[in-house]
A and B are shown apart, each in its own frame.
Chain A
Amino acid sequence: MRSAHKFKVYDFTETVPGDSDTPAREQVVAEIVQRLEPFRVDSRPVVGATVITKDLNIDSLAVMDMVMELEDRFDISIPLNDVAEIHTVDELADAVLRKIGGH
């Protein structure tokens, strides 16, 4: 549950500003897969080709929350406008890498 501000401890440890090393594609995919694991259907693994809102038991709100986490993890902006165009784990990883690359 989201906490109210009164009880919130601000946490920057997830953010990696100034990290000059561009993460490898595998690392980005791994970060996404790890966040999607809880939404797996049956025992089918989450892979690059997994269609996020179709193959997983996840609603649009949880997808938006995961995107917010990835923004902080990689210190990038991923607008909601772009999220509508992203379907698979691979596409999301590409979007993250493009943003890290400054596009």
Chain B
Amino acid sequence: MGILDRHLHLLETHRAMQATGADPLVVMERVLSPTEAVINGRRTLLVGTNNYFGLTFDKACIEAAIEATRAEGTGTTGSRTANGTYAQHAALEAEMAEFYGKKHCMVMTTGYQANLGIISTLVGEGDYLVIDADSHASIYDACKQTQATIIRFRHNDPASLEARLRRLKDEPGNKLVVVEGIYSMLGDTAPLKAFVEVTKRYGGYILVDEAHSLGALGERGRGLVEEAGVLDEVDFVVGTFSKTLGAIGGFCVSDVEGFEALRVATRAYMFTASLPPSIVASVRAALKIVRKDGAVLRKRLWDNVATLYDGLAKAGFRLGPEHGPVVAVVMPDQMTTVGVWQALMEAGIYVNVAVPPATPGGLCLLRCSLSAAHSRGQLQHMVEVLAEVGHRFGVLPQERSAAVA
């Protein structure tokens, strides 16, 4: 048996898609703006890039990145715990902590590493890590890296969490509950107030991953923790700089005493190079924009959400359960998903293909994500094209129903 044989079935799935003339592993030949790129030689509308505020081409962010590169070079070439902490890294941490009104912040090199490192370090042998069944891969990978005992509860179900915490109530270890603000595949939000209440009642800690909700939710853009009014009660907020803030990187903010110990205990923080100066600078500029103009950008984003979600619902598509920056269109099976996706590509529209095992409930999805930078016209065009393609592929049901129940 060859060393890669166990992965061959994944390659076969990919090849089956390629055989139909579609290859979801696209190359962005030239990126033109937050909403357009050239793919396969064709000018293409991007509706699947998690670029929620469209800040990737913001002039202030670009200038800050260029300026930082000239001043401090292209990379730090070292870990945060060696030569890789510049004044800017510390400044970004102070600004993120201030933004959330928390005492502490750790900035990491990716959002994936933030979840992997922080979660696996917070709990250890004798502790319990209690996770939502539909958690992101970074959370599942943290489960593999920690010595803690892993318990899984039904997706977005506070009663299921409560049953599990009740069964563990006489066990001595710490309990850490992990949920996400907005789930990346169906775009549904967690019933966070109930999760926080249950967790606190049983003396647990709660960590919320706001990767897809930073900027998009909350009066000041601090995510579901702010929207649900539980920012003060949540122990740890983890997030990413790679979506709303338009760059890359991860962070964790907290008021928990002793937090600084994580800097010398978190392997994913210690054993990787820190963010380059350009990224730290553009993220700081983007955070300023979120704090200053967030309300305007948020309104634009949610107006665009309504245009796409309501348009597709009206056309008769089965969608994720609620309005949100992620709009998932449910397809009947994998081959149809790829066929419809390819037809969209030929019409100059890019969305994400999401199929099992990356999706909950074995669903096949065309995953769209909105941006404040989209124009209403671009999204109305997408609704028209997808409706036409949907009819052609027999995806649209007879009755005009919307939400996935």
Contacts and interface: CB of A to CB of B under 8 A. Distances in A.
Contacts of A15: 163
A4 B182 CA distance: 12
B357 interface: yes
Nearest to A10: B159
A79 B153 CA distance: 11
Contacts of A8: 156-157
A80 B190 CA distance: 22
Given A4-B322, A8-B157, A79-B151, A64 B167 contact: no
Nearest to B143: A80
Nearest to B131: A80
Interface string B284-317: 0000000000000000000000000000000000
Contact of A64 (B133, B157, B164): B133
B133 A59 contact: no
B88 interface: no
Interface residues of B, number: 35
B167 A76 contact: yes
A66 to B, nearest CB: 12
B164 A77 contact: yes
Contacts, number: 77
B99 to A, nearest CB: 28
A61 interface: yes
A24 B158 CA distance: 31
A1 B319 CA distance: 12
Interface in B176-206: 186, 188, 190-191
Nearest to A78: B151
Nearest to B190: A5
Contact of A2 (B155, B167, B190): B155
A94 interface: no
Given A68-B153, A71-B164, A72-B160, A5 B360 contact: no
B21 interface: no
Contacts of A3: 321, 404-405
Given A65-B133, A77-B168, A4 B188 contact: yes
Interface string A58-102: 011100110110011001110111000000000000000000000
Tell which of A3, A10, A65 has the most Cβ of chain B within 10 Å.
A3
Contact of B361 (A2, A64, A75): A2
Nearest to A9: B159
B405 A64 contact: no
B23 to A, nearest CB: 24
Given A1-B361, A8-B157, A80-B143, A75 B321 contact: no
28 contacts: A1-B363, A2-B156, A2-B361, A4-B320, A4-B404, A5-B156, A5-B188, A5-B191, A6-B321, A6-B322, A7-B321, A8-B157, A10-B158, A10-B159, A12-B159, A59-B356, A59-B357, A61-B357, A64-B133, A67-B152, A68-B133, A68-B154, A68-B160, A71-B163, A71-B167, A76-B167, A77-B168, A79-B151
Given A1-B362, A10-B159, A68-B152, 14 more contacts: A1-B404, A3-B321, A3-B404, A4-B404, A5-B191, A12-B159, A60-B357, A64-B152, A68-B153, A72-B160, A75-B163, A76-B167, A77-B164, A79-B151
Interface of A: 1-8, 10-12, 15, 59-61, 64-65, 67-68, 71-72, 75-77, 79-81
